[in-house]
């Protein structure tokens, strides 16, 4: 009886805590409100920026480029979501784009639009469109609420009690889960790789958003091939530990190219 009761409760939690993503149409577990995640992201982002070397965008072409590419993608997404009557999906977004000095090949976007690009990524992206592909992918994870979904799955799997603001309760487990999902900072106890489903979604919408922002989506194939090559060497770039590249993934990107190209209008940069 107890078991049945517990099952009924967990089933009803799952039932009430699933939302249908307006853009993908996919049902996602959402045990933690997006607003709570954004609030936590602002605080973690500020801490990250104070603990790492941010490249000033004054007179630095790379840092300027990160802000330019990021803003163009953010503007394209905002325009598209607004036109589609989905502006509520971006509620609370206050975009920020920072380049951080680090050899790591990585970039990420936290809920609410807090983005970091590591200088180590730029030799691989090679050009502005290459960077747009990576940023399109990372930003898609955020605006498609993938972090919220993963966070919810992890909380459920680890049996963390949900209620109130789970971050202010000082639960180390909760903070660990958050950090492992959003910012590959040090002292992370659990590794939670993105699901393949989320990766394919982020590739798909990332291509479209980069194209909407005026960047050639064809750049994606070469970019992920360069990434895959890095992976065959000794070091696995940070970004690939979370986003493995294989021939199936590149084939899926090629298949989506005609759709992405429909949105592509080049910009002069």
Which residues are annotated as catalytic?
138
Burial class (CB in 10 A: 0-12, 13-18, 19+), 72: buried
Closest CB 61 distance from Zn ion, rounded Å: 27
Residue closest to Zn ion, measured at CB:
243
Q: How many helices and strands (H and E) does the chain possess?
A: 11, 6
Identify which of residues 193 and 222 has a Cβ nearer to Zn ion in the complex: 193
Identify which of residues 112 and 166 has a Cβ nearer to Zn ion in the complex: 112
- Pick out residues in 63-122 that bind Zn ion (CB under 5 A): none
Using CB under 5 A, count the residues that bind Zn ion. Answer: 4
Query: CA triplet 245, 248, 253: central angle to 5 degrees?
Result: 80
- Pick out residues in 236-255 that bind Zn ion (CB under 5 A): 243
Residues 6+ apart with CB under 8 A from 267: 72, 213, 214, 215
CA distances from 238 to 199, 213, 227 (A): 15, 26, 11
- Pick out residues in 48-67 that bind Zn ion (CB under 5 A): none
- Asked if 181 is part of the footprint of Zn ion (rule: CB under 5 A), the reply reads no
Q: Taking CB under 5 A as the rule, which mask of x and - marks residues 189-228 in contact with Zn ion? A: -----x----x--x--------------------------
Closest CB 147 distance from Zn ion, rounded Å: 11
* Residues paired with 98 in a beta bridge: 116
Identify which of residues 114 and 243 has a Cβ nearer to Zn ion in the complex: 243
Closest CB 83 distance from Zn ion, rounded Å: 26
Identify which of residues 45 and 224 has a Cβ nearer to Zn ion in the complex: 224
**Contact (Cβ atoms closer than 8 angstroms) between residue 130 and residue 206:** no
Q: Taking CB under 5 A as the rule, which mask of x and - marks residues 5-44 in contact with Zn ion? A: ----------------------------------------
Identify which of residues 40 and 201 has a Cβ nearer to Zn ion in the complex: 201
| Closest CA relative to residue 265, chosen from 219, 221, 216 | 216
**Contact (Cβ atoms closer than 8 angstroms) between residue 134 and residue 223:** yes
Closest CB 253 distance from Zn ion, rounded Å: 12
Collapsed DSSP state (helix, strand, coil) of residue 31: coil
d(CA 58, CA 112): 24
Tokens linked to 59: 């007179």
| Residues in touch with Zn ion (CB under 5 A) | 194, 199, 202, 243
């Amino acid at each position: 009886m107890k078991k049945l009761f517990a099952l009924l409760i967990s089933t009803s939690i799952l039932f009430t805590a699933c939302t249908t993503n307006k853009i993908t149409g996919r049902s996602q577990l959402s045990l933690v409100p997006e607003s709570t995640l954004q609030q936590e992201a602002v605080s973690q982002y500020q801490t990250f920026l104070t603990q790492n070397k941010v490249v000033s965008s004054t007179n630095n072409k790379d840092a300027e480029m990160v802000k330019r590419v990021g803003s163009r993608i953010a503007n394209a997404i905002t325009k598209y979501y607004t036109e589609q009557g989905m502006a509520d999906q971006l509620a609370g977004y206050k975009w920020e784009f920072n380049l951080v000095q680090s050899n790591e090949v990585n970039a990420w976007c936290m809920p609410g639009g807090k983005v970091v690009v590591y200088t180590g990524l730029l030799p691989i992206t090679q050009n502005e469109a290459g960077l747009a592909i990576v940023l399109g992918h990372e930003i898609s994870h955020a605006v498609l609420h993938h972090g919220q979904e993963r966070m919810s799955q992890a909380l459920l799997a680890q049996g963390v009690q949900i209620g109130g603001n789970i971050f202010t309760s000082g639960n180390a487990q909760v903070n660990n889960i958050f950090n492992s999902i959003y910012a590959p900072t040090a002292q992370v106890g659990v590794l939670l790789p993105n699901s393949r489903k989320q990766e394919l979604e982020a590739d798909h919408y990332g291509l479209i958003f980069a194209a909407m922002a005026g960047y050639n989506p064809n750049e994606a194939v070469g970019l992920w091939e360069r990434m895959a090559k890095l992976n065959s060497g000794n070091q696995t770039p940070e970004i690939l530990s979370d986003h493995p590249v294989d021939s199936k993934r590149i084939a899926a990107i090629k298949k989506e190219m005609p759709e992405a190209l429909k949105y592509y209008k080049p910009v002069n940069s």
